[in-house]
Amino acid sequence: MDLSESDLAALRELLAAPGTPVGLAARARIVLLRATGGTRGEVAAQCGVSLPTVDRWVSRFAEQGVAGLVGRSNARRQVPGWVRRRVLELAASPPPADVGLERWTTRTLAAYLAQGEGALVSNNYIALVLREAGVRLAAPPRSPIRRERPSAPLDVYVEFVVVDGPPARALRERQTEAIAAVLQWFRDHPQES
């Protein structure tokens, strides 16, 4: 890489100036080391960066000079206000029937907005909007099966399974047999219960 004396002087000036931001100084050092004969690998090792990083800053300097080394803004991209309002509207209502969902999640909201309304936002953005507005999505439905432990200690460990909802029909015969067996055990062992 061949640089003019004025370019080399500008890079050295950046490195020597006490007020130069750390990132800008690091980028200037990458270009200066490369310009003074360092290989890509040597520069990457000395500066603690990857080879593509060395290539990127050398290329930017070649195209734009010192201005190419100035960091770009990391500010978030602005999302239109209508998208924010639409996220809050959708979160407050159940999903449309044609979507085939019982409830919204941040991922399904992001997918719905992208496909149905052309708004490309991440599920993280949706979570941020909901958190800022104090809105919580509906909790997932609880499993109809829950386990309950007996309140009094027993010599024999018995675990009761309580079934609510549609699965109860499928389990009714087995449940009846299990309950009958437990009740029979209690009848056979009255002193232990």
CATH number for the domain harbouring residue 13: 1.10.10
Cα 158 to Cα 181: distance, rounded to the nearest angstrom? 11
pTM over 0.75: no
Q: Per mean pLDDT, which range of 106-110, 139-143, 184-188 is the poorest?
A: 139-143
56 and 15 belong to one structural domain: yes
Asked whether residue 159 falls in the same domain as residue 183, the answer is yes
| Boundary (domain end) residue, out of 23, 45, 69 | 69
Strand partners, 146: 162
Q: What is the pLDDT of residue 145?
A: 64
Structure confidence by residue, pLDDT tens digits, 104-133: 999 999 999 988 888 888 899 999 999 999
* Amino acid 162: pLDDT: 57
Q: Give the pLDDT confidence score for residue 33 in this predicted structure.
A: 92
> E strand or H helix at 109, and its extent?
helix 106-117
Interatomic CA distance for residues 182 and 84, integer angstroms: 56
Residue 16 is encoded by which pair of tokens? 């020597």
Q: Is 129 exposed, middle or buried (0-12, 13-18, 19+ CB in 10 A)?
A: buried
Give yes or no: residues 14 and 64 share one domain. Answer: yes
Question: Residue 129 has what pLDDT?
Answer: 92
Q: What total number of domains does the chain contain?
A: 3
Flag whether pLDDT at 70 surpasses 80: yes
Residue 184, domain extent: 145-192
Distance of CA 66 to the CA centre of its chain: 36
Residue 155 in this model has a pLDDT that exceeds 60: no
Does the structure show a pLDDT above 70 at 87? yes
Same domain, residue pair 11 and 60: yes
pLDDT higher than 80, residue 31: yes
Is the residue at 75 inside a domain? no
Mean pLDDT computed over every residue of the chain: 81
The answer to whether residue 22 scores a pLDDT higher than 70 is yes
One domain, residues 12 and 55: yes
